[in-house]
Amino acid sequence: MSETILTYSSGSLRASAAGGEAVLLRNVSFSLREGETLALIGETGSGKTMTALSLMGLLPRNVRMEGGSVEFCGKTLKSEKDFSALLGRKIVYIPQNGLEFLNPARRIRRQLFDALERMGTPRSEREAQAREKLALVGFEDVDTVLGSYPFQLSGGMAQRVTIALSACSEAKLILADEPTNGLDEKARGEFMVLLSRLFPKAARLIITHDMTLASLCERCMVLCGGHPMEYGESTAVLSKPMQPYTEALIAALVQNGLRETPVLRSEKGACPFYARCPKAAESCKTKLTHHSVGEREWWCRDASAC
C-alpha cells in the first residue's frame, strides 16, 4: 500500500486585527497518499491559499491555528524549525506567477545553482544538473534560458523555470497555487502530465478556481467562506454536485453562461453560502450538516434538500 504523505486538519484558523477576531478556516481536513492529486477549489477568499500557508507553517503572525494539525510522512509538524527543514526540499511550492516568484536580479543559471546547492549537489555537477532540469520541463535552447534574467522570459517560460527549480528537490509533497493561470486547456493538461512525470511518487495539492484543472485531479474539495462544502472524486463532484455552492461554481463557467449567484438575503447563516443560496431553508441559518456516502462528502441541510 502507498505511503500516506500528508494528513491535514485545519481546526480553526483565527485572525486577530484591530476590529476584532475572524475565523478564516474551519474544519478543513484531508489526507494525501503518494502519487495522489487533490484539487482545492472555490472563489477568491474561500480559504484555498490559507490552507496551503498553514500546512507549510507560513501563516501570517496575526493568524493562529487552534485544534489543527499537520502530519507529514508520519511526523507531526509543530515548530517553525520542523517546517523550514522541509520547505524547498521535501515540501515544494509552485507559485501562480513565475515572473514574480523568480529573483529579477539573478540569471536563471544562478537560481538553479542556488536550489541545487541547498540540496547538497557538488559544485562540479551543478551545470549538468541545471541543464537536465530545464530539458525535463521542455526547454530546447537551454543555453539561452540559463543565461537569461527572468524579465527576458515569457510568462509560460518563467512558469516552466519554477517547475525546473522544484525538480531540484526530493519532493514528497507538491503545492501548486493557481499554476495554470492564463494557460489554455491543452497547456493545463500538459502541466498536469509534467507534474506526474517529474514527481511520480509525490502527493500533489492543486489550489485553483479552474474547474477544468480540477477535473484533471483524482479528488477535489470545494471550499466556501473557509468551510468545506463538498469532497470526493473529481469526476463525480463536478458532474453531479450535491451542494448548491458547487452547482453555482459550475454554472459560473464560461461554457455555462457565466451565471452569477446574486445575494438573495441580507442575514448570514451557518452555511457560508446561505445569503446567495437559492435552495436555502430556515434551518440553514443555524445548522450545517455533514453527509457522506462512501468516499463522497458534503455539508448542507438534510440530504434530500440539495
241-300 pLDDT, tens digit each: 999 999 999 988 767 666 788 899 999 999 999 999 999 998 899 999 999 999 899 999
- From the list 101, 70, 86, the residue with the least C-alpha distance to 171 is 86
**Average pLDDT over every residue of 78-103:** 91
Do residue 61 and residue 47 come from a single domain?
A: yes
Lookup result for grid cell 531540484: 168
- Using the 3D structure, point to which of 146, 169, 192 is the last residue of a domain: 169
CB distance 269 to 275 below 8 Å = yes
Note the pLDDT tens digit of each residue in 44-71.
889 999 999 999 999 999 999 999 999 9
Which CATH number does the domain housing residue 39 bear?
A: 3.40.50.300
Same domain for 103 and 12, yes or no, is: no
Verify that 203 and 79 share a domain, yes or no.
Answer: yes
216 domain-assigned:
yes
Question: The domain containing residue 150 runs over which residues?
Answer: 97-169
Same domain? For 43 and 161 the reply is no
Tell me what pLDDT residue 77 has: 96
Which residue, 126, 145, 169, sits at the end of a domain? 169
In a domain, 305, yes or no: no
Q: How confident is the model at residue 275, as a pLDDT? A: 94
Beta bridge partners of 8: 30, 70
Backbone angles phi, psi at 148, to 5 degrees: -90, 155
Rounded Cα distance between 237 and 250, Å, is: 10
Contacts of 190 (CB under 8 A, 6+ apart): none
Residues 135, 174 share a domain: no
Residues 48, 41: contact at Cβ < 8 Å?
yes
| Residue 306 confidence (pLDDT) above 60 | no
Q: What is the DSSP letter of 41?
A: E
Residue 304 is predicted with a pLDDT of 53
Give the residue among 17, 88, 103, 13 at the shortest CA–CA distance from 54. 13
Domain assignment present for 18: yes
Question: Domain end: 142, 169, 196, which one?
Answer: 169
Residue 306 domain-assigned (yes or no): no
* Residues 54, 187 within the same domain: yes
Q: Measure the CA angle with vertex 179, ends 83 and 152; round to 5°.
A: 105
Where would I find the beta strands (DSSP E) of the chain?
Answer: 4-9, 12-17, 20-26, 29-33, 37-41, 63-66, 69-72, 75-77, 91-94, 173-177, 203-208, 219-224, 227-233, 289-293, 296-300
Q: How far is CA 73 from CA 4, 21, 31, 37, 76, in A?
A: 6, 33, 11, 16, 8
d(CA 111, CA 74): 32
pTM for the whole structure:
0.91
Count structural domains, the chain: 2
The answer to whether residue 252 is domain-embedded is: yes
